[in-house]
Amino acid sequence: MTPLLELDKADVRRARALARKVGKPVVDIANKHTTVSVERATLRLAGLAGADHERVPWVNHLVDAVRESAGLEHGVTLPVWDALRRGLAPDLLTLAQMASSRSVEFRIPEGKDATAAAKQSRAAVARGIRTMDKQRVARERLVKRHGDPKQRPWIYLIVATGDIYEDIPQAQAAAREGADVIAVIRSTGQSLLDYVPEGATREGYAGTYATQENFRLMRAALDETSKEVGRYIRLTNYASGLCMPEIAALAGMERLDMMLNDSMYGILFRDINPIRTFVDQRFSRQVHARAGIIINTGEDNYLTTSDAVEAAHTVTVSQLLNEYFAKEAGLEDWQLGLGHAFEINPDLHDSFRMELAHALLARTLFPDAPLKWMPPTKHMTGDVFKGNLLDGFFNLVGALTGQGILLVGMMTEAVVTPWISDRDIALQNVRYVLNAAGGLTEDFHPPRNGFIQTRARQVLGEAIDLLQQITDEPGKAPLLEAIADGTFGEMKRPATAGKGLDGVIVRAPGYDNPAITLLETGATR
């Protein structure tokens, strides 16, 4: 049994009620808009893939051409399948190729033409949805065949060479040494690309590009390793940035198991327009819900720009908002890898006790979620001995509080890119702590009014106060105002600015997106 804190149930209910109050206006805004990436993701589900000789994806060409010719206010599928029905091209790929030279004139069909176009587009998109459904079944079958790790938390380890063909052997080696989840870090800056690169890539910087082919290659390699080690090895990548919906769709079709997918990370740390982010985020989470993918949220990032003690309550607020947005989009508790981190200055008196309180607070608020616990990074100095000790304390908190996903800390974190030998030492640290102290959750019960319980209640109280403060903001969407004011991570991001704003479109009456319809209804055809 995980040791739970004794929190006031009324406070917990109030926190969730306030999160709903803050989040709902944002969902209402998302339901009134679409984005170029949502429309491109829909075409990808319909089977459109590939790129031109300059590696510009065909989905970009087609969506851009439709927007110029007929607009996207009604969605991309009505004008596209209307064009196919009128015989302007024999298939979707040819139409996209013709559209790239602007040799096709699109229109918004009406009446029977609109009905027929909607029916045909739904049939095409449904094939992509069924592919995701099959991949979810395949995952369940492989987990049953190979087995899950014998204990929690799952050990989560990063590879990031920039070359998919170098990532693969490193990922397989990590799995053999005990890693349960392999995260392929995305190339620096990819979140700001408004297209998804094509094919296998070997030139990423500080990470490897997220592409459909890279997903396929790594998934196939880890399937082989799963057979070898006798447990299913999970694969993680990033559904964030300007192409969040597309990457989510590709991940679902290629059977990735986890995706980093935070509701506000792109806004705060990449200056992506807030409305663009929330619209894309809702669609991507609907995809993840259908595909059986666990999301990992990014609350740990707040503590890289804010003090981990003073800003602890902003992490809790973000977790509550991420939970609301996720469940509204259809995700279940077991898919909520809500984030938090071990980032308090180690020189601070009682730092470990506060870390323990914060981790227990998250565990108590979200008892059925596989929380993702992040290691120290901000206060790593290059002293590898102290760094390894800090990571050991981090691992101990994970063992004591029953975290679900434990990202392996590196003693060279934030100093150099870790060597394989660094990873091996880090994995030894995790294995020792979990083997020696993994059962402490049965024995550890913080005193009712002791330091840990008191600190956790304080943070929850501050989180409630902040949520109430947000609801008191002026305007129809107080959360957008709070983000603009710099409430989270000390970043001010107004809803009228930011990257990707030009890719946001207000839906017109009669807007049609078969992917959204299929995802929301659970239909397969």
Each residue of 318-330: pLDDT tens digit?
Answer: 999 999 999 999 9
Give dist(CA 308, CA 315) in Å, integer.
Answer: 9
For residues 67, 280, 210 and 162, what is the CA-based torsion angle, rounded to 10 degrees? 110
Per-residue pLDDT at 478: 94
Where is average pLDDT lowest: 94-108, 375-389, 411-425, 446-460?
Answer: 411-425
- Where do the domains of the chain lie, and which CATH numbers do they carry? 147-442 (3.20.20.440)
The mean per-residue pLDDT over the stretch 259-277 comes to 94
Say how many C-beta atoms besides its own lie within 10 A of residue 224's C-beta: 12
Residue for token digits 């009128």?
Answer: 86
2: pLDDT strictly greater than 70: no
Q: What is the pLDDT of residues 397-426, one digit of tens each?
A: 999 998 999 999 988 876 666 777 788 899
Higher pLDDT, 369 or 304: 369
Give dist(CA 312, CA 40) in Å, integer.
Answer: 37
Residue for token digits 């209910």?
Answer: 13
Backbone torsions φ then ψ of 57, nearest 5 degrees: -60, 145
| Packing angle, helices 164-176 and 212-229, rounded to 10 | 20
Per-residue pLDDT at 89: 97
195: pLDDT strictly greater than 80: yes
Give dist(CA 187, CA 193) in Å, integer.
Answer: 11
Backbone torsions φ then ψ of 236, nearest 5 degrees: -125, 145
Q: What is the pLDDT of residues 223-233, one digit of tens each?
A: 999 999 999 99
Q: What is the pLDDT of residues 505-518, one digit of tens each?
A: 999 999 999 999 99
Give dist(CA 88, CA 202) in Å, integer.
Answer: 38
The mean per-residue pLDDT over the stretch 487-501 comes to 90
Q: Are strands 234-238 and 258-260 parallel, antiparallel or unpaired?
A: parallel
The mean per-residue pLDDT over the stretch 372-382 comes to 90
The alpha-helical segments, DSSP class H, found in 402-477 are: 420-437, 451-471
Question: What's at 225, amino acid-wise?
Answer: T
* Mean pLDDT, the chain, integer: 94
Per-residue pLDDT at 150: 82
Per-residue pLDDT at 122: 98
Enclosing H/E stretch for 365: helix 351-365
What's the alpha-carbon Rg for the chain, to the nearest Å? Answer: 23
Q: What is the pTM of this model?
A: 0.95
Q: Are strands 336-337 and 372-374 parallel, antiparallel or unpaired?
A: unpaired
Contact 508, 74 (CB under 8 A): yes
Q: What is the pLDDT of residues 416-457, one digit of tens each?
A: 667 777 888 999 999 999 999 988 888 888 999 999 999 999
Residues marked active site are found at 265, 300, 372
Per-residue pLDDT at 417: 66
Backbone torsions φ then ψ of 237, nearest 5 degrees: -145, -160
Backbone torsions φ then ψ of 404, nearest 5 degrees: -95, -35
